[in-house]
Chains A and B, each alone.
Chain A
Amino acid sequence: MHKKSVLCLMLLVLSLGFLFSCGEDETPVKVSLEKREEISIRPQAAALTYAYLPQYSHTESFQRHNRLVEYLSQETGLSIRQVFPDTFDDHINKFGQGKIDISFSNPFVYAKLAGRFGGEAFTRIIEEDGRAEFRGKIIARRDNQEIQTLEDCKGTSWVAVDPSSAGGYLFVLGHFVEHEITLDDFAEVVFAGGRQENVILGVYSGLHDIGAIREGSLSVVEDKIDTRQIKVIDHSRWYPGWVYAHSPRLTDETVAKIKEAMLKLDYDDPEHRDILEAARFKGFVPSSDEDFDPIRDLSKKVGLELD
């Protein structure tokens, strides 16, 4: 009996220890979940809208242009806010709807904006290679021995960035046409939703035989894939580079302030360099609508309508 009592006592201590150990020492903050209100978003303050043609993800777009937008706001004293259209068409449509005041787009889209909604170019960028022009590239997997020349691209699956993409479609299509290769010569032509990265990844994964990207896009995916596995089959001609266009609703004074601020950016200035390096270009040059006539010619040549 004595032993049983000792055993029972020890088991009881054990059980209690298990059940009541670990006391809570945090003090909770009393909050009522029952006290509710219908809430709505407060309207945003009026600001100029700045949009970057969504050739990359919104995050990439934000990180590239956020500082530039802030700089322009500070420099011009204007309230400028970056907006993010989802696609090329969305960009074009929002520009037409007046939701984008300052558009940074490729020359092909610009030609459409100018033709359709009266957009007007005022600056062009200087690419990282120092040129105010850029071109398209035809890429394939390095281990794809069947595709060595432009001629080998016939009958392949071609992935392009967007029907409105310049370097990622138009320039390359023009290059094919110049070499008497038409869209009908490909097994398929698909578009990657406006994302340069998707084109490269599509080729890298082997889903498509060739891809069309703009100059400089490979560096964007250097931290994601081994870009040495990608080879460049051919390049297109050089065409005028990316362009800033303003909505026809903006006043000339406003445009001038913005243009001036842009042109003021000096790559040799450390502060400005940070802004320009984030945006992946070296500076700005003045631009006008005539600069993009080769684009219009090219569009006509390949049978694409701009208006």
Chain B
Amino acid sequence: MTDRLKSFLFRLRFRTKITLGMAAMLILSCVIIGLTLSNMASTALLEEGKKRGSALSSGLAFRLAEPILATDFLQMKNLIDNVHTQYEDVVYVFLIDTEGNVLSHTFTGGFPTDLLQVNMDPSDPQPLLLSTEKGTIYDCASPVLLGDRNLGTVRLGLSRDHLEILIQRQRWTALLTTLGVLTLGLVLSSWFATTVTRRLNKLRWSAEEVVQGNLDIQTSSEPRRHCWEIMQCGKQECPAYADTRRRCWYIPETLCEDCQNIGHRQKIENCRKCRVYRQLVGDEIQDLSEAFDVMALTVKNHINELIEREKTIVQQQGLLKTIMNVTPDFITLQDRNLKYQFASKAFCDYFDLKEDDILGRTDFEIFPEEQADSNYHEDRQILSTGRPLSKEVTLSRKGREVWMHVLKVPVYDQEKNIIGLLLTARDITMLKKYQEQLIQSQKMEDLGRLAGGVAHEINTPLGIILGYTQLLLEEVENDEWAEDLKTIEKQTKICRKIVADLLGFSRYSQSTSQPVDMNRSLEEVIKLVEHVLSLSHIRIYKSLDPNIPPFVGDHERLKQVWLNLINNAADAIGQDGVIYVKSKLCAHRQRIIISIADTGAGIEEESLSKIFDPFFTTKSVGKGTGLGLSVSFGIIKDHGGDISALSPPPVEYLPRDFPRSPSYGPGTVFIVELPLEGKTLEKENEDGGHCST
């Protein structure tokens, strides 16, 4: 077969190939079968013709026995003529006796004597084919036997030409029949090819649609009946119910009785025995179409799921990026080679870099060598040890110094291998300022207390000096002495003034009164210390009563109280704890109650009465002066309020969901009560009137 023919056949449509193939097979089969059958039929016709001739002559021989015995020539003639006239293909019949006498024959105008020269021995193969002027003739010789006696021989000539006509007629009939069958076969094969290829074409079309992204295809034909109609199950919750696109055996987790709690493979095996399967199952192409539809539907569902997931991921990525870009904190992610994989917008903005200038690069390509080298060794340390790093550093940029709290933590993958390094850095400059202010404030407070204490001690002798000086002035008459005493009195008064000023300093005598939003003052303090405390894993919970009216007082001094109390609570906790700040308006007792509870170590009962004394402290040496609570006490007293402490705190000062932990201490609650404007704080009755926070 040449390449050109191969190429031509390859390019033919599948339907044409099937049609041509089947036509070729049909024609070949018809030729082979037709020729074989025609040969067989022709041979059979010839054989039957021969046998018929022999049968006719044998039958005649049998019937001629009695006429021969009776020498009944008439009957002989009648019998012979009867056969001769009855069958048109019988050319002649004659009877000869054992002596060779022709007893009877069908010839007119003499007897062809040549016939007596041939086929005279009936034991010769019968019949003998003769070629005569009347065509070829089968000469059949049958002996007239009676027992073992031979009475004569019947000779019958059967026209071979007549048989040939029959054979030819049979061949034409076979040819026409074969051509008819062939034509019918070609039509049927064309129809069959069209039927098969139509379904294949539909499959091909469906495949093309899938390739083009259209997964809403229906290749297989919908069954005449559906599983829920056959089973009449009425299980509308079944996934197969009302699903007209898929046969139920392709659908997992159907609610059939035999298909529950088994795997899909076992389910398929069960389905093969199910009458639904037996009624709805199709041929291989139908199976292929259904499987294709199921595949398309599954792929579509899978793609839809992926699209949904992608949307979610994109949304989450956008949200994460927004958070990363909005947060003022520096956030970076480096891989094991310390190349940046991510850098937040704040980071980029601070260093005047674009994201593309950072990603995929190391510190050596971004920062000065000295800083990059420092970072490199620090980062390598973390990657090798797995220990996070927390530090506070100052950065100077564009003439501005910024305090940053830097936290570097290793990033692990699922196999617990370190795959990178996460850096977060927060600007704590403001916090640092507050801390400095707080320290300064504490210093000033301490100094005031010290000065107050000293002044208090000096004030008495000064009063005595002034008193005795004034007594001497009344009694001295010497003007010079009096002048000196006046100088002493004057200087003593100056000292008293200085002491009074010192006492005033210690009590912040320069306080101002103005309406104070109590909650706001609390929140300001909380905000100030929240981050610092969180470094020690101390969280602050708050519950502020929005109904608290403005309180006339010194905003800053009150904040100092809250700061002192919260710092005290934090000191009592140390690491890992909770501080609960609560404000409440106690309307029926005309007061505002502020409570600050903690989960710290608590205060022993004997110490509770001393904690507000100046210089009393339970802290170790160098950790506190013992003036914080006494100053706070003084401030609250100045505002007409009261301050007290309970350890452990009663439950009414704690929220219901106040966290508990085995590591938490008994805790303490400081309760500050401040009278509403124009009111005075009354003493507690024993019978109650208590107004807890």
Contacts and interface: CB of A to CB of B under 8 A. Distances in A.
Interface of A: 3, 7, 10-11, 13-15, 17-19, 21-22, 26-39, 41-42, 57-59, 61-63, 66, 82-86
Given A36-B111, A37-B110, A38-B111, A59 B66 contact: yes
Judged by DSSP, the binding face of A is mixed
B179 to A, nearest CB: 8
B590 interface: no
A14 B111 contact: no
Contacts of A3: 20
Given A19-B171, A21-B42, A59-B65, A30 B178 contact: no
Contacts of B107: 36
Interface stretch (B131-139, B453-461, B547-555, B656-664): B131-139
B42 A14 contact: no
A29 B174 CA distance: 31
Interface string B84-110: 000000001000000101110001011
Contact of A63 (B39, B132, B133, B147): B147
Contacts, number: 128
Contacts of A63: 146-147
A62 B118 contact: no
Given A28-B136, A32-B112, A35-B113, A14 B66 contact: no
Nearest to A57: B66
B129 A62 contact: no
B35 interface: yes
Given A59-B65, A85-B70, 11 more contacts: A15-B175, A31-B112, A31-B139, A32-B133, A33-B115, A33-B134, A34-B112, A36-B112, A38-B110, A42-B101, A59-B69
The winner among A13, A22, A30, A61 for most chain B CB atoms within 10 A is A22
Contact of B34 (A14, A37, A42, A86): A14
27 contacts: A3-B20, A11-B27, A13-B31, A14-B31, A18-B35, A18-B178, A22-B167, A27-B129, A28-B136, A29-B128, A29-B130, A29-B131, A30-B131, A31-B117, A32-B112, A32-B133, A33-B114, A34-B112, A36-B111, A37-B111, A39-B110, A39-B111, A41-B103, A58-B70, A59-B69, A83-B71, A86-B70
Contacts of B281: none
B130 A31 contact: yes
Given A31-B132, A41-B101, A62 B69 contact: yes
B27 A58 contact: no
Interface of B: 20, 23, 27, 30-31, 34-35, 38-39, 42-43, 65-66, 69-72, 92, 99, 101-103, 107, 109-115, 117-118, 128-134, 136-137, 139, 146-147, 149, 167, 171-172, 174-175, 178-179
Nearest to B157: A33
Contacts of A17: 31, 34-35, 38
Nearest to A83: B71
A104 to B, nearest CB: 15
A7 B26 CA distance: 12
Contacts of A21: 35, 38-39, 42, 171
Contacts of B133: 32-34
A22 B35 CA distance: 9
A19 B70 CA distance: 51
Nearest to B119: A29
A66 B149 contact: yes
3 smallest A-B Cβ distances: which pairs? A36-B110, A28-B131, A22-B42
A32 B111 contact: no
A59 B63 CA distance: 10
B38 A18 contact: yes
Nearest to B36: A21
A66 B175 contact: no
Contacts of B172: 18
B38 A14 contact: no
A173 B204 CA distance: 103
A10 B69 contact: no
Contacts of A27: 129
Contacts of A32: 112, 114, 132-133
B131 A22 contact: no
Nearest to B103: A41
Contacts of A41: 101-103
Contacts of B35: 17-18, 21
Nearest to B72: A86
Contacts of B136: 28
B467 to A, nearest CB: 145
Given A19-B171, A21-B35, A14 B30 contact: yes
B692 to A, nearest CB: 107
Given A10-B31, A18-B35, A36 B130 contact: no
Contacts of A66: 146-147, 149
Given A22-B167, A41-B103, A35 B114 contact: yes
A21 B40 CA distance: 10
Contact of A14 (B117, B129, B146, B175): B175
Nearest to A13: B31
Contact of A29 (B112, B129, B167): B129
Contacts of A83: 71
A183 to B, nearest CB: 31
Contact of B112 (A18, A35, A57): A35
Nearest to B30: A14
B283 to A, nearest CB: 30
A188 B136 CA distance: 58
B9 to A, nearest CB: 11
B53 to A, nearest CB: 14
A240 B111 CA distance: 52
A61 B146 CA distance: 11
Nearest to B41: A22
Contacts of A15: 175
Given A27-B129, A36-B109, A36-B111, A18 B175 contact: yes
A34 B110 CA distance: 9
Contacts of B147: 62-63, 66
A42 B97 CA distance: 11
A34 B108 CA distance: 11
Nearest to A90: B70
A178 B175 CA distance: 80
A3 B107 CA distance: 59
A29 B38 contact: no
A52 B178 CA distance: 64
Contacts of A22: 38-39, 42-43, 167
Contact of B174 (A7, A13, A18, A33): A18
